[in-house]
Amino acid sequence: MATIIITLPDGSKFKAKKGIKPIDIAKKLLGSAFAKKALVALVNGELWDLNRAIEEDAKIKILTYDDEEAIVVLRHSCAHVLAQAVKRLYPDVKLGIGPAIENGFFYDFDKKEAFTPSDLKRIEAEMKKIIKADYKFERKEISKEEAKKLFADEPYKLELIDEMEEPISVYKDGEFIDLCKGPHIPSTGMIKAFKLMKTAGAYWKGKAENPQLQRIYGVAFKDEKELKKYLSLLEEAEKRDHRKIGKELDLFSMHPEGPGFPFFHPKGMIVINEILKYWREEHEKEGYSEVKTPIILSKSLWEQSGHWEHYKENMYFTKIDGRDFAIKPMNCPGSILIYKERVHSYRELPLRWAELGLVHRHELSGVLSGLFRVRAFTQDDAHIYCMPEQIEKEVIKIIKLTERIYSAFGFKYEVELSTKPEKAMGTAKQWHEAETALKNALEKCGIKYKINPGEGAFYGPKIDFHVKDALGRKWQCGTIQLDFQMPERFDLSYEGKDGKRHRVVMLHRTVLGSLERFLGVLLEHFAGKLPLWIAPEQIRVITVSDKVKNYAEKVYKELKKHGFRVMLDDRAATVQYKIRDAQLQKIPYMVVIGEKEEKTKKIAVRTRENKVKFGVELDKFIGALKKEIKERKVELEAI
């Protein structure tokens, strides 16, 4: 019998029979108790079924419920169980696809009638039966011809088979067979904790011209404890929903007269303007100048930029004087027209031009979601024109600026480097140079990053910043995009030391990303309890009775004089009611005035979290407030 060499994670090696299975290695070396927890293996870096034979020398690692890669495989197996349950209950349903996703899985189905909440309960119950039956997941490789016979009644599977190369792998558990690359966990009984969550419409292969299918979403975790923790997190997220908070705090609204176009109320504009005030201060420190470009520009400009070819399905169009125009989805072509107004010397570079540009992008109505997915938004854009040798230094400066701004809001973040997409402009050499420059900058800043293959912009690779909120959720906000293509298309140059023209390099970047989306993230991160410096109402002066109204007015006017956003509540209501109302409005500080405060000429201060301090001197309180605002503290510290 031929032998192969198996290498374990600790570097130790041993000889094994060719065709040995990872499950046998787990039982032999790690014991049957460990093998019962094993879900999948890594064989030469590839995820591998525990019961799939190894035919060549291999480095192997056995993964269990404690490995995230294994839980992803478990979630994919759960998607198969979902499809199996649906086919049992609704035999005429046609199957789409069912991958694992973050925290769970989904499967797409072609069914005439819509799935109802009661259907989901039935399906979930059937899934539990399949899990209890503990069917083995069995892999088999077949020819295209065999696959077409096997899935003759499944039109979506047949379409996928036509796109595949032989051999084609299928997986069987119980009576159910599905087209799948794999791998899977050993058996259905190893699924310990799952729940079906919702249904949604989804176009086949994500293309609007294809049939719309019904997608069932579910979540799955290694055990019930993790599932309960996640469901609890969802409950908290629902309480923090920025749409709910925006309505309660009178910040913004959405209307059917402008679907996907947010309406900001006076209080919402206070928050936005405070964010932008800080944004402008930081950009001024970094040597940025601010520009403004029109939102409607000619079709010819968008053809020259490449957006017409690569992005027109997401754009809005209009005609002016018989000519075709587009509403801008991006700010860069407008900035380029300013750059081209005159010849620039190497002595001027880098030029850093920032723009709070209103852009419009056509999003499908089904994906619109409060401020998170809109059709009109303000990008805190900037375009940096520099020489090739300045790229790395400029990217490092942007990274540090981004880090500073996120810290002011109490955000931590993760970074991804997105590389050349399938549809891209430029040569392989240009893309390699661009990707290397971004990698070098990240590494010099000591930032860990994840490679996101094929997700770059069509004109260049990019660095994406994902901020983490109070619930640990990640939101894509800032981005840095290195662009050799626009300068070529628009013949952008500078005059070098040698007096000759040289090609300029362009950096596109945002920090907040979409101002609207960033506001939504902020509201959910703070659960509406915004820091003092951006709160629309910072202080509310509350009277205990009409007897102290005069002193309360003096306190109110003094606070107003010092520039605070303050209101006076002297309504004929109980003090408890007025305090509760201020807390519901998430107002950072309440100044409560009673007879004792009037007599001592001092104040009682209460935070929205019910921290109370009596006998506070007004001047000292004002000084503490100013310090808290100046330092842009995230926590309330004035008492």
Active site residues: 332, 361, 379, 381, 383, 462, 508
Contact (Cβ atoms closer than 8 angstroms) between residue 514 and residue 378: yes
3-state DSSP helix/strand/coil percent for the chain, to nearest 5? 40, 30, 30
Contact (Cβ atoms closer than 8 angstroms) between residue 560 and residue 540: no
Token pair recorded at residue 575: 């003090």
- Report the distance separating Cα 230 and Cα 151, nearest Å: 36
Contact (Cβ atoms closer than 8 angstroms) between residue 295 and residue 590: no
Token pair recorded at residue 366: 């089904």
**Is 327 in a helix, a strand, or coil?**
strand
Secondary element (H or E) of residue 74: helix 68-89
Q: Which of 584, 574, 571, 573 is nearest to 610 (CA)?
A: 584
- Report the distance separating Cα 38 and Cα 184, nearest Å: 12
Q: Which of 63, 73, 69 is nearest to 37 (CA)?
A: 63
Q: How far is CA 43 from the centre of its chain?
A: 32
- Report the distance separating Cα 124 and Cα 56, nearest Å: 41
Angle at 124 between CA 121 and CA 130, to 5 degrees: 145
Helix axes of 391-408 and 266-285: crossing angle, nearest 10 degrees: 140
Token pair recorded at residue 573: 């209501």
- The contacts found for 631-636 with CB under 8 angstroms, 24 or more apart, are 632/278, 632/408, 632/531, 632/533, 633/531, 633/532, 633/533, 634/408, 634/409, 634/410, 634/531, 635/531, 636/531, 636/532, 636/588, 636/589, 636/607, 636/608, 636/609, 636/611
Contact (Cβ atoms closer than 8 angstroms) between residue 40 and residue 100: no
Annotate 387-435 with DSSP letters as a single string. Answer: -GGGHHHHHHHHHHHHHHHHHHTT-EEEEEEE---SS--S-HHHHHHHH
Q: How many CB atoms lie within 10 A of CB 440?
A: 14
Alpha-helix residue ranges (DSSP H) falling in 293-367: 299-305, 307-311, 332-339
